[in-house]
Amino acid sequence: MTSEKLDLIPVTEWGFFTLPRPMVIAGPCAAESEAQVMETARGLAAFGIHVFRAGIWKPRTHPGSFEGVGIPGLKWLQRAKREYGLYTCTEVASKEHVFACLKYGIDMVWVGARTTANPFLMQEIADALRDTDIPVLVKNPVNPDLELWIGALERLGRAGIRKLGVIHRGFSTLQKTPYRNDPGWHVAVELRTRYPELPFFADPSHMGGDRKYLLELSQRAMDLGLEGLMIESHCQPEAALSDARQQLTPEALRILLGEQLTVRDADTQAADYRENIGPLRARIDVIDENILSLLKARMSVSREIGHYKRDHNIAILQTARWDELMEGLLRKGDAEGLDGNFLQALFNVIHQESIRIQNDVLSGGKEPTE
Ligand code: PEP
Ligand code: MN
């Protein structure tokens, strides 16, 4: 499946965000009371935050937990905008939410992870947004399915939304990780590669699930060259009605952004940098080409083995042979200072491709022409 081209208006022309990076969206997980919204907004505006988030309708795992204050919260956001000059944004998960946001002059909306995973709801939201020019940020779906994420963007693109961006908030996983959601950065990198123009935010709050991880995850997002961060901040985090552990005070956020985070240039036109990076990139290009031709050679030997096995009626998969081979590779790799997890993942995909080729031979698939 090839993905559709998106016709985008650059994020710097939306009018909310200023450079240098990171472009920051901050505010509580949820609007809880007028006083909490105003107090948090005041603290954030005081150190230069321009874009304020607050959930009005909260998607909760269990019924009966705090599900957001609804429409009254939109009026508090209007007040925060009026008094502190903040642009406001909230999460929408249905057409009713979209219409309410448009009615109350919310400046930007985002689509949450549970909604991105649902094409019916995405279509409903896209239809409700048609012919508006409100910016929309799309969080990744809860599961690491890049196509589902792209599909959501395509639906909005087809509805004429040109101020589009994404928020990477990590993925739900069965594996135990220290984080609430597995960062799965490679999925973000893949999306970035496919849509380099798409404004990219990371949400270290929902990724980490605990404020102690905010700095390392924000740092990683900046090192990957992402444009922005969406971070949950609450005037009294420990008393928050949702996501209490991952929120931090406006003052702690000021320190994180202003004193702890190191932001390196995403790219530069500086001549000396260009001069030095150029030859290094050229070397990488040559090495990558070598890897390609080695892969080609390896796969053609796999095909030959496939023929041989077919002619001798031997099964394709000999796990003992593969285990032995992998063990040897990991030992050699370790001696070369290469990471074991990386090597294992790399050789597993190479092995899978060999098996696919041998299967192909067995089922009489088409031979390559050359
Ligand atoms: C949120 O931003 O408050 C939220 C519910 O996020 P997510 O959709 O990433 O879980
Ligand atoms: Mn939250």
Do 249 and 279 fall into the same domain?
no
Nearest-atom number in ligand 1 for the CA of 58 is: 5
Report if residue 142 sits inside a domain: yes
Q: How far apart are CA 87 and CA 162, in angstroms?
A: 18
Residues 255, 281 within the same domain = no
Q: What is the number of the ligand closest to the CA of 204? A: 1
Is 94 within a domain? Answer: yes
In terms of phi and psi (left: phi > 0; alpha: psi -120 to 50; beta: otherwise), the region of 184 is left
Q: Do 332 and 294 have their domain in common?
A: yes
Q: How far apart are CA 108 and CA 27, in angstroms?
A: 14
CATH number of 240's domain: 3.20.20.70
- The set of protein residues with a Cβ atom below 6 angstroms from ligand 1 is 29, 55, 59, 91, 112-113, 139, 169, 203, 206
Phi/psi class of residue 313: alpha, beta or left (left: φ > 0; alpha: ψ in -120 to 50)? left
CA of 33 to the centre of ligand 2 (A): 16
For atom 10 of ligand 1, which residue has the closest CA?
Answer: 113
In sequence order, the 6+-apart residues with CB closer than 8 A to the CB of 101 are: 74, 90, 92, 109, 134
Q: What is the DSSP string of 148-208?
A: HHHHHHHHHHHTT--SEEEEE--B--SS--SSSSB--HHHHHHHHHH-TTS-EEE-HHHHH
CA-based torsion, 3, 141, 175, 30: positive or negative: positive
Q: How far apart are CA 68 and CA 65, in angstroms?
A: 9
Atom of ligand 1 nearest to the CA of 206: 9
Closest ligand by atom to 237 CA: 2
Look at residue 159 and tell me if it is in a domain. yes
Nearest-CA residue for ligand 1 atom 4 is 112
Measured on CA atoms in the order 77, 82, 86, 89, is the torsion positive or negative? Answer: positive
Together in a domain, 317 and 239: no
Do 170 and 305 share a domain, yes or no?
A: no
Mark whether 276 and 230 lie in a shared domain. no
pLDDT at residue 266 in the model: 64
Q: What is the DSSP letter of 22?
A: P
pTM flag (> 0.85): no
Would 48 be classed as within a structural domain? yes
Helix (H) or strand (E) holding 281: helix 271-311
**Ligand 1 mean position to 55 CA, how many Å?**
8
Question: Which residue has tokens 């299967």?
Answer: 359
Q: Which residue's entry shows tokens 């930007």?
A: 108
Ligand (nearest to CA of 139): 1
- Are 95 and 175 within one domain? yes
pLDDT tens for the chain, 370 residues long, are 678 999 999 999 999 998 889 999 999 999 999 999 999 999 999 999 999 999 999 999 899 999 999 999 999 999 999 999 999 999 999 999 999 999 999 999 999 999 999 999 999 999 999 989 999 999 999 999 999 999 999 999 999 999 999 999 999 998 888 999 999 998 998 999 899 999 999 999 999 999 999 999 999 999 888 999 999 999 999 999 999 999 999 999 999 999 999 998 767 778 888 788 877 887 888 889 889 989 999 999 999 999 998 899 888 777 888 899 999 999 999 999 999 999 999 999 999 999 999 988 988 866 665 4
DSSP state of 141: P
Answer yes or no: is 2 within a domain: no
Per DSSP, which regions of the chain are E strands? 23-27, 51-53, 87-92, 108-111, 136-139, 164-168, 200-202, 228-232
Closest CA to 162 of 215, 126, 196: 126
Which atom of ligand 1 is nearest the CA belonging to 243?
A: 3
Q: What is the pLDDT of residue 158?
A: 97
| One domain, residues 140 and 223 | yes
Residue type, 255: I
Pick from 205, 235, 260: which residue ends a domain? Answer: 260
Whether 139 and 113 have beta carbons less than 8 Å apart is answered as: yes
CA-30 nearest atom, ligand 1: 3
- How many Å apart are CA 337 and CA 330, to the nearest integer? 10
Among protein residues, the one with the nearest Cα to ligand 1's atom 8 is 112
Nearest-5° angle of CA 37, CA 57, CA 248? 45
Neighbours of 263 (CB within 10 A): 13
d(CA 364, CA 281): 41
Atom of ligand 1 nearest to the CA of 203: 9
Going by alpha carbons, the residue nearest to atom 1 of ligand 1 is 29
Ligand 1 pocket test: which of 203, 205, 217 has the largest number of ligand atoms within 8 Å of its C-beta?
203
Please report, for the domain that includes residue 307, its CATH number.
1.20.59.10
Cα(174)–Cα(184) distance, rounded to whole angstroms? Answer: 13
Q: How far is the CA of 207 from the centre of ligand 2 (A)?
A: 10
DSSP character for 251?
H
Distance 243 CA to ligand 2 centre (A): 5
pLDDT the model gives residue 367:
65
State the distance from the centre of ligand 1 to the C-alpha of 206, rounded, in angstroms. 7
Task: Identify the pLDDT of residue 329.
Answer: 95
To test ligand 1's pocket by mutation, which of 60, 115, 206 has the most ligand atoms within 8 angstroms of CB?
206
303 part of a folded domain: yes
Q: Is residue 300 part of a domain?
A: yes
Between the CA of residue 182 and those of 7, 22, 160, 187, what are the distances in Å? 30, 22, 32, 11
Closest CA to ligand 1's atom 3: 29
> What angle do helix axes 71-84 and 95-103 make, rounded to 10 degrees?
40
Residue that is last in its domain, among 238, 260, 282: 260
- Closest ligand 1 atom to residue 112 Cα is 8
Q: Which domain holds residue 346?
A: 271-362
- Residues 235 and 275 both lie in one domain: no
Domain match, 251 and 105 both: yes
Return the number of other C-beta atoms located less than 10 Å from residue 284's C-beta.
Answer: 10
Residue 134 one-letter amino acid: I
Neighbours of 184 (CB within 10 A): 19
Together in a domain, 135 and 249: yes
Point out the domain boundary residue: 230, 260, 290: 260
User: Domain tally for the chain?
Assistant: 2
Q: What contacts 134, CB < 8 A, 6 or more positions away?
A: 101, 102, 106, 107, 108, 109, 163
Q: Ligand 1 mean position to 142 CA, how many Å?
A: 10
Gap from CA of 115 to ligand 1 centroid (Å): 10
Residues 104 and 123: their CA atoms lie apart, in Å, by 22
Q: Would 4 be classed as within a structural domain? A: no
Q: Are residues 254 and 154 in the same domain?
A: yes
